[in-house]
Amino acid sequence: MIRTIDVRGGRILVGGETRDDVRLTISDGRLRAIEPAGGGGDVAGDDLAGGDVAIDLAGGWLLPGFIDTQVNGGGGVLFNNALGIEGLARIAAAHARFGTTALLPTLITDTAEAIEAALDAVDAAIAAGVPGIVGVHIEGPFINGTRKGIHDPALIRTLDRSIIDILCRPRRGVVMMTLAPEVVAVEDIAQLAAAGVILSAGHTDATYDEALAGFAAGVTGVTHVFNAMSPLLHRAPGMVGAALSEAAIWCGIIADGVHVAPAALDIAFRSKGADRLMLVTDAMPSVGSNDDFFLLNGRRMTVEGGVCMGEDGTLAGAHLDMAQAVRTMCAATGADLPTVSRMASASPAAFLGMAQDRGTLAVGLRADFVVLDAALQPVQTWIGGIKVAG
């Protein structure tokens, strides 16, 4: 079925350019044409110039849908605790309310059985057509206990052949893994990368040279840069120094104003640019719900003042959605919205190898987009040409 959507009254980001009024022609979930809105005339309720659907931006924006590579939970659900289609659907729906059109449910350090169950659950969700689920992120357990953060130290382990075999099996969506390159053999990193696993360095105490060795072996990203990793010191640049200085490496960053100071957000942006910096939420179940606590590996985590933490005060993921991350990044860097939008869409799409499918509004790509009002608050979210929120 072919449908047209007339969009007026604001700014539309198309292929990196800002336009005023457009008509989107959509079929089979993809953009088939992007043209000037036809017919002229005034806006009359929901009838704009004869399009099947009308969107009045009222001074706001229409942007490519947000892509989040690190989503632990949402809607009252933690992925670790709900390894099935129903839980994944609730997580995706919660984040769709805030403009996220594609995400990787993220399994925080857990058992080998949980890793396999997580991979299978995401496969099943993709097969069932759950909107927004495009792969899985396995964060740990092959990390450095020195930089464990909220991860359960009892579950941190060494990568072995059985897990490599599980990770290398063909899957319906992308498979991303966070590991500490200094605790994983370069041969194993190379094998995982060759099998198509997207590797990101995180929860790591790597030296600068160890970080570079990991990059050379196949690590292409860094998980929540600055957090839970060896810092940049003038005599020991560490993982942060390697992440910011290596031009080819993508860096995820948590722009909630808590995990990373505004000045450090700006430093990361100036170092990496919009095409190698990715906004991530590291979201917990509290996003899209009123829950003030949740359980992770049987341990109670609380949500106070918009901050998730363990009993000892350690940060436990974030109470953050992508629209908020966009607003925070705009404020911290002074960059304009089209630039920051790339960090929330085109950059993660490229990192995941999906740039030919999504991440930009262009003919032939998916009709995934978000409508923001003039204050950059989410109003509508569309996935595959279907409105799923708003």
Query: Could you give all domains of the chain from N- to C-terminal order, each with its CATH number?
Result: 2-59+369-389 (2.30.40.10), 64-351 (3.20.20.140)
Angle in degrees, CA 339, 341, 347, rounded to 5: 90
DSSP state of 353: T
Residue whose entry in the numeric block shows the structure tokens 């363990």: 310
Q: Which helix (H) or strand (E) holds 340?
A: helix 337-344
Residues 145, 150, 153, 156: is their CA dihedral positive or negative? Answer: negative
* Of 296, 373, 276, 371, nearest in space to 54 by CA: 371
How much of the chain is in helix, strand and coil states, percent to nearest 5? Answer: 30, 30, 40
Q: Are 42 and 58 in contact (CB under 8 A)?
A: no
Q: Write out the chain's pLDDT in tens, 390 residues.
A: 889 999 999 999 999 899 999 999 999 999 999 999 864 432 333 333 456 899 999 999 999 999 999 999 999 999 999 999 999 999 999 999 999 999 999 999 999 999 999 999 999 999 999 999 999 999 999 999 999 999 999 999 999 999 999 999 999 999 999 999 999 999 999 999 999 999 999 999 999 999 999 999 999 999 999 999 999 999 999 999 999 999 999 999 999 999 999 999 999 999 999 999 999 999 999 999 999 999 999 999 999 999 999 999 999 999 999 999 999 999 999 999 999 999 999 999 999 999 999 999 999 999 999 999 999 999 999 999 999 999
Helix (H, G, I), strand (E, B) or coil at 47: strand
Residues 264, 265, 270, 276: is their CA dihedral positive or negative? Answer: positive
* Of 117, 116, 137, 135, nearest in space to 126 by CA: 135
What is the reported pLDDT for 44? 30
The rounded distance, in Å, linking the Cα atoms of 368 and 168 is: 29
- β-sheet bridge partners, residue 307: 304
**Strand order in 11-14's β-sheet?**
17-19, 11-14, 61-64, 369-372, 378-383, 386-389
Q: What is the pLDDT of residues 229-263, one digit of tens each?
A: 999 999 999 999 999 999 999 999 999 999 999 99
Q: What is the pLDDT of residues 190-210, one digit of tens each?
A: 999 999 999 999 999 999 999
Burial class (CB in 10 A: 0-12, 13-18, 19+), 258: middle
Structure tokens at 349: 């799409």
- β-sheet bridge partners, residue 26: 3, 31
Phi, psi of 371 (to 5 degrees): -105, 125
C-alpha to C-alpha distances, 337 to 48, 85, 221, nearest whole angstrom = 26, 34, 24
188 given a catalytic annotation: no
Mark residue 194 as left, alpha or beta (left: phi above 0; alpha: psi -120 to 50; beta: remaining).
Answer: alpha
Helix 208-217 crosses helix 238-245 at what angle (to 10 degrees)? 50
Structure tokens at 284: 């917990």
Helix 322-333 crosses helix 262-272 at what angle (to 10 degrees)? 80
Residue type, 101: T
* Of 353, 274, 266, 281, nearest in space to 99 by CA: 281
CA 167 vs. chain centroid, Å, equals 20
Q: Catalytic one among 6, 110, 256, 282?
A: 282
